Chains A and B, each alone.
Chain A
Amino acid sequence: MRYLDEYRDGRLAQALLEEIRRAVTRPWVIMEVCGGQTHSIVKYGIDRLIPSEIELVHGPGCPVCVTSLEMIDKAHAIASRPDVIFCSFGDMLRVPGSRGDLLTLRSRGADVRVVYAPLDCLRIAEQNPDKRVVFFGIGFETTAPANALAARRAKLEAVANFSMLVSHVLVPPAITAILQSPQNRVQAYLGPGHVCAVMGFEEYEPIAAAYRVPIVITGFEPVDLLQGILMAVRQLEAGRHEVENQYSRVLSREGNRSAQQLVFDVFEIGDRKWRGVGSIPKSGYRLRYEYRDHDAERLFEVEDIQTQESPVCISGLVLKGVKKPTECPAFGKECTPQRPLGATMVSAEGACAAYHAYGRHLAPELSSHANAATARG
């Protein structure tokens, strides 16, 4: 497919690897922010092909993973009601809350539906006037415009039986929290390409300057990722800390202004609890007061839910880039994608699930040195 195949070209990837080897002189720790990037890196083995001096650590950018247990339990409680059709992106269905997951709830007779686009929920609401249709509005900034559009259309078209349970998260407060942590090891970021397709990257410039970290907004294909790594390494080696854009075919510094306007019209910024990380101030979106008639959190009384995470799981440390999935004693044993113990195993884009999907629980971790030597051939 156009704009995909070219960026999977092995020849270009080899040339980029060679450039990275030429550029690097000492050890660096680089974090890729997005779950989609983590997935590509592990799928193509990029972390094992790059020189051993460069360590890639995996960031918190999987919204399915970081949706709080409380929110999943709330979704579960609302979806259990006989008068509700509960709609969600497919990835959320298997995520276990303290009361089980939505898929199991569906097998017990609840009306839980997977939607491709949030707008589809409005049609479901119109076709089922005697039901209350609730959409689980999760995601990063990438998903915010599509979710905001569903709320706006519901208001404009007066679809009274549609509401949204919003659990939106934002990237800049999360990557700032990581940099502020005393355990922080991250020296550069590969920034989130699709988040920035909406938001642009102006808001990353003060972060790069304040914490003296290079941020390279990067795409998701192997050639994109290798080019992003090369740009980050060149900055690190030269002592620069700027925001650069590897993904220029898709985004500009200002992003998509009209989509931003839509998001700001519908959502406002609020504090948000992240699974595995805890509460981060001003790190999420919630519906504005004008949208209260479509706000499931206001419409459905759900009692306070006490939740408990697994004591073995180290997903919080994995999300912050402090530890790797393979350092967890439960990884691939008690904790698998079928029976996840924590945030980073619950979705395919979580670091633990990506490691598991590509068999890293089976073979002992290859030494990066041996691997780099093989790659150098």
Chain B
Amino acid sequence: MCLAIPGKVLDTYDRRGVQMAKVQFGGVTRETCVEYVPGVKTGDYVLVHVGFALSIVDEAEAERTFKLLEEMNQLGELEAMQPPEG
């Protein structure tokens, strides 16, 4: 129920005083309210739940987390190359 999916903002516009956007999720495009993610712009990824954008996905943070995970993976591989103990 609390499922929220990241989608790409294609276009923003006003509908009856509410900021809306066309948001693309894979092959599907849906109208989404972006009124409560101030500063959102075309090309941003927003996290959408029941037609409402909850937040803008922070690209730099996503990259940072990913780098950390990748580094950990490389460390694991380095260790795997060591001959087994005993």
Contact = CB atoms under 8 A, between A and B. Distances in A.
Interface of A: 1-4, 6, 11-12, 14-16, 18-19, 34-36, 61-64, 89, 91, 116-120, 138-140, 142-143, 145-146, 149, 153, 156-157, 192, 194-195, 197-198, 220, 223, 227, 248-251, 256, 258-259, 262, 347, 349
B13 to A, nearest CB: 15
A250 B48 CA distance: 11
Nearest to B18: A153
B52 A146 contact: yes
A249 B68 CA distance: 13
A2 B49 contact: no
Contacts of B33: 117, 119, 146, 149
Given A118-B50, A140-B1, A223-B69, 10 more contacts: A1-B25, A3-B6, A116-B50, A117-B31, A139-B1, A139-B2, A142-B49, A149-B52, A194-B2, A198-B54
A118 B65 CA distance: 34
Contact of A249 (B4, B18, B35, B58): B58
A227 B65 CA distance: 10
Nearest to B51: A117
12 contacts: A3-B6, A3-B62, A6-B62, A89-B1, A89-B50, A117-B50, A118-B51, A146-B49, A194-B4, A195-B2, A250-B57, A259-B36
A35 B76 CA distance: 32
7 closest A-B pairs by CB: A117-B51, A146-B52, A249-B62, A15-B73, A3-B6, A142-B2, A259-B36
Interface string B57-86: 111011011100110110010000000000
Nearest to B31: A117
Contacts of B26: 1
A89 B59 CA distance: 31
A156 B35 CA distance: 15
Given A249-B65, A250-B55, A250-B58, A91 B2 contact: no
Contacts of A2: 6, 8, 45
Contact of A248 (B18, B38, B58): B58
A240 to B, nearest CB: 19
Interface of B: 1-6, 8, 16-18, 25-26, 30-31, 33, 35-38, 45, 47, 49-52, 54-55, 57-59, 61-62, 64-66, 69-70, 72-73, 76
A220 to B, nearest CB: 8
Given A89-B50, A194-B54, A248-B61, A157 B16 contact: yes
Contacts, number: 131
Contacts of B55: 197, 250-251, 256
A143 B73 contact: no
A18 B6 contact: no
Nearest to B35: A149
Contacts of B25: 1
Contacts of A146: 33, 49-52
A16 B69 contact: yes
Which residue among A14, A35, A120, A249 has the maximum number of chain B CB atoms within 10 Å of its CB?
Answer: A249
Chain A CB within 10 A, most for which of B1, B4, B5, B58: B1
A136 to B, nearest CB: 12
B69 A12 contact: yes
Nearest to B63: A249
Contacts of A34: 2
A349 B54 contact: no
Contact of A256 (B2, B5, B37): B37
Contacts of A19: 72, 76
A151 to B, nearest CB: 13
Contacts of A156: 17
Most A C-beta atoms less than 10 A away, residue of B5, B47, B58, B66: B47
Contacts of B45: 2-3
Given A197-B47, A256-B36, A258-B38, A143 B2 contact: yes
A262 B25 CA distance: 26
A157 B65 CA distance: 43
B50 A35 contact: no
A2 B9 CA distance: 13
Given A11-B73, A16-B72, A6 B51 contact: no
